[in-house]
Amino acid sequence: MPHDPLLARIIPVLTDVPGVAAIVLGGSRARGTAHDASDTDLGLYYRDNAAPDIDRLRAAVTGLVDDRTAAHVTAVGEWGPWIVGGAWLAIGGYKVDLLYRSIDQVTMVIDACRNGEISMHYQPGHPHGFCSAIWMGEVALCRALHDPDGLVAALKAKTAPYPPALRDALVRRFQWEVLFAIENAELALPRGDSTHIAGCAYRALACIAQVLFALNGQYLINEKGALAQAANFPVTVRGLAGRVAEVWRQIGATEHAAAMQTLRELESDVRDICSGVSEQP
């Protein structure tokens, strides 16, 4: 990848922290879709029997950050079992986020995903929840910056090609919930319960994104922007972006019944796509 002065400054410091077995670049910068104000997301991979030395990590980043009092470095596990932990930093005027990941646990999750076994978890910051397949997607989409033992490379080899069993599991897990969420919203129409209706609409749309990503063999690692990305997939719903915008316009105008009708039409189109895919030899 092109020389990046910010990474050239950060990576040698992080590699000296005991327990940091590999470092990857994630997010939009790894995918080549970043803009000038985009965060720099760095994954710090470690072995379960040799977790990062957080005191050493905190001391290391103190020499990098713009404001030592604003640097926040967590313990492993402080952000829960799926986000795990990390740091929020500002370095050279740029926002840099560190995320911890266990090589051992990610390996187990990837193996499960390849076998069609996924799970969904409540997680602040992920309104639809944290799907275990996100960890596999992170590996698939990241760029290794420091991988002396080939740990990340070995994981990456398991992510391509996209596993058919994972595709089938995601479609099976999320397709049925689209209509279920719509029907739950419709129960709230007589009460005019806008919050519940909007929440159900969000779930329906998030499930549509999951299904379309799976059908296209694409890893969904964050709900943000997922539907806009799905609108450009080869296998997608006609006019997806505009129809999603119409759902939210209708909800904003308290045209709840119309919004549910728009969602039902989207659900029908997604169901037709899934049926067509399953009928292919």
| CATH, domain range 164-278 | 1.20.120
Burial of 149 (0-12, 13-18, 19+ CB in 10 A): exposed
Alpha helices in the chain (DSSP H): 5-15, 27-31, 54-62, 80-83, 103-114, 133-141, 151-157, 164-187, 194-215, 226-230, 240-252, 256-279
Q: Residue 71's pLDDT is what?
A: 86
Answer whether CATH 2.40.160.40 is correct for domain 5-158.
no
pTM: 0.95
**In which band, very low, low, confident or very high, does the pLDDT at 206 lie, cut at 50, 70 and 90?**
very high
Average pLDDT of the chain is 95
**In which band, very low, low, confident or very high, does the pLDDT at 31 lie, cut at 50, 70 and 90?**
confident
Q: Where are the domains of the chain?
A: 5-158, 164-278
Q: Residue 239's pLDDT is what?
A: 98
**In which band, very low, low, confident or very high, does the pLDDT at 27 lie, cut at 50, 70 and 90?**
confident
**In which band, very low, low, confident or very high, does the pLDDT at 3 lie, cut at 50, 70 and 90?**
confident
Comparing 200 with 276, the larger pLDDT belongs to: 200
Residue 127, pLDDT > 90, answer yes
Contact at 8 Å (CB) between 38 and 71? no
**In which band, very low, low, confident or very high, does the pLDDT at 249 lie, cut at 50, 70 and 90?**
very high
